[in-house]
Every structure is written in structure tokens, then in C-alpha cells.
Structure 1
Amino acid sequence: MDSPTALLTAKMIAIPLALTSAGYGINASQNTVPRLYKEPAKIATPIFAHVFHTGAYFVVPSTLLSVAASAFLAYSIPRQRQVWGTVAVTTLAALPWTRLVMMPGISRLLAISEDEAAQHKCGGSGEHTYLLKKWVGQNYIRASFFLIAGLTGLWASLEA
């Protein structure tokens, strides 16, 4: 068994990072990206690109740290191994979800943000609005991975 300080430290990393990542994702889906729906592609897609790139600087490291802390807790607390393992896996699930499900739409939005001809074409087709709305729905799902992980970790800490 590891020291109580190490266990508490791991909990103070795993839980807040998962919950903060959930809040970050929910905020982007609720308050930021929907404001871009009525904007032309030449305005909306560069803003989306900025939101996406700056988000990656926070979300990816936070996810990896939270997964590492949760995995450490799963290893260190045998009676809660399944719970903390679930926290780790649920947190980690956001990364393949992003890569496999969300990335095609994200890649298209990023491509539009860098191409004036594509931006002009989107004006008539509404492609960028469709992709932004699709991203919002997918991002709510991604945020739910973090929320479930954070709340499960909080529950495990209160049960200990």
C-alpha cells in the first residue's frame, strides 16, 4: 500500500482534472461554438480552429495526467481497483473518441479555415454550420466521458 499522501495526491489530480475537462468541453459546446452558427465560414472556421488548438493544449495533458493518477489509484487500492480502473478507462476513452469519431469533421473545419475558396463555397452550402453543429453534439459526448469519470472518482473517494 502506498502512503496516504501519495493516494490523496493522486485523487487530487485525477478527479479535478476529469471534472475540469468536462466543464471545459461543456462550455465549448454550450457557450462558444453555437455562437458561430450564424457567422460566415471566413469568421466561424478560424475561430473554431483557435478553440480547437488551444483546447488541445489543456485537454490532452489533463487527460493523460488524470488517467495516470487513476491507474495509480487502481493499482494502489486493491478494494477499489475496479472503480479506479473504470475512472482511468472512461477518462482515456475521450482520446480515441476524438480521433476516430470527431476528427473527420474537425479536419474538414480546419481545412475550411485555411482555404478562402472553401470558405466562400460554404456560404451557400452551410457545410461549416452543419459541421459545427455535429462537433457540438460529439463534444457533449466527449465531455460526458470526463464527467462520468470525475463523478465516479469523487464517489470512490467518498466511499473510501
Structure 2
Amino acid sequence: MATQPVPLSTQLHALGVTAALVYSGFSFGASYLTVPLVIPLPARHATVFFRDFFYNGATAMVPLSLLGAAACATGSYVLRSNARSAEGVVRVLGQEVRASTLGYIAAAALMAGLPWTQAVMMAVNNRLIALAADPGASDRAAAEVVDLLRQWRWMNFVRSTLGLVGGVLGLSAIVGQK
């Protein structure tokens, strides 16, 4: 019994989905599991923890976002440009959408986390990091630290949702390939 090779577009979309769901899971875990444990810490410890957490997280999250987006976009390009493939359509919210289009939207959802971080989250990130540099200041700003961590938590839930949307749409792109 001969098996068919897995098309390159499917392999690329699978890589993109994996990166998207890991990205989403890391983000969700940070907001749901980690930050609530940091909030009750003394402000000087919470800010130092956040600073290290932020820099370590960036080394994983940015590459995951870029890898997932590149894989989904490239998979969609390959799918759309391959004349031999019978690209399927998927029903999304009552509308028929080409599988390659879903992959492109998945890539955009993953990439959206980067400008979201820069435009919305960086002011909070930078303030927490600045407070970490001066333990006396962070202790005097204990209430502000708690407020900043709570703000960061919901903003990071949004970022997690972007990754989840990318993963679900990327998976839909795989299902839509024939």
C-alpha cells in the first residue's frame, strides 16, 4: 500500500500552527499562572522578576511569532501557486474562504502580537523594568506595581488570543487543503 507524501503547503501550515499554539500557550500561561503569583510579592521582588521574565520571554516569543507567521504565509503561497493542488474552501462564520486565505490571515494574526506589544504593552513593560532598576522606587510605588502587573496581565491575554486565532485559522487552512 503506497502512501502519498504530505504536501509542502501542509507541512508549512503544520509548523505555523505548532508555533502559533505554543506562542498562545506561553502567553496564556504567563497571564493565568505566573503573574497572579507575582502580584502579592514585595514590589522590589515583583519588578525584578518581571524584568527577567520579560527579557527571557522575548527570546522565545518573538521568534515563535515570526516562525509561525512565515510558515503560514509561505504555506499559503505554495498552496495557491501550486497548479496541481486542488485548494479547498472552508466555511468560516457562514462564509466560504479559500484555505490559502486562512493561512494568510493566520500569519497576520500571529504578526499582530508584535505591534500590539510595541504600541500597547511597552509603556507598562518599560515602567516595570525601570522600577526594577531602583528597589527603593519600586517599594515606594508598590500600589503602582500591582496595578501595572494587572494591566500587563490582561494585555497579555489579548496577545495570547492573537496566537490562538492564528493557530485555529492555520489548522483550518490544513483542513481546507485537498
Percent sequence identity over aligned pairs: 31
Aligned to 1:135: 152
In structure 1, C-alpha distance between the alignment counterparts of 2:20 and 2:42, rounded to whole Å: 34
The answer for the alignment partner of 1:109 in structure 2 is 128
Q: How does 1:57-136 map onto structure 2 within 5 Å?
A: 57-78=59-80, 79=87, 80-123=99-142, 126-136=143-153
Larger helix fraction of residues: 1
Give TM-score scaled by structure 1 length.
0.92
Structural RMSD (CA) = 1.4
Q: Output the CA distance in 1 between the equivalents of 2:17 and 2:27.
A: 16
1:5 CA drift (Å):
4.4
Does structure 1 conserve the Cα–Cα contact (< 8 Å) formed by 2:14 and 2:171? no
The CA distance in 2 between the partners of 1:38 and 1:154, in whole Å, is 38
Asked if residue 150 in structure 1 is aligned to residue 167 in structure 2, the reply is yes
Alpha-carbon deviations, 1:70-106, whole Å to 9, x = none?
Answer: 1112211224231111011011000000000000000
Q: Between Structure 1 and Structure 2, how many residues are aligned?
A: 156
Q: Distance in 2 between matches of 1:35 and 1:145?
A: 24
CA distance in 1, matches of 2:41, 2:6: 52
Distance 2:173 2:10 in 1: 12
> 17, 20, 23: which is aligned to 2:19?
17
Distance 2:71 2:135 in 1: 44
Q: Which runs of 5+ in 1 are unaligned?
A: none
- Of 113-122 and 24-33, more deviation after overlay is shown by 113-122
Q: Which has the higher strand share?
A: 2
| Alignment-derived partner of residue 29 in structure 1 | 31
Shift of 1:48: 1.0
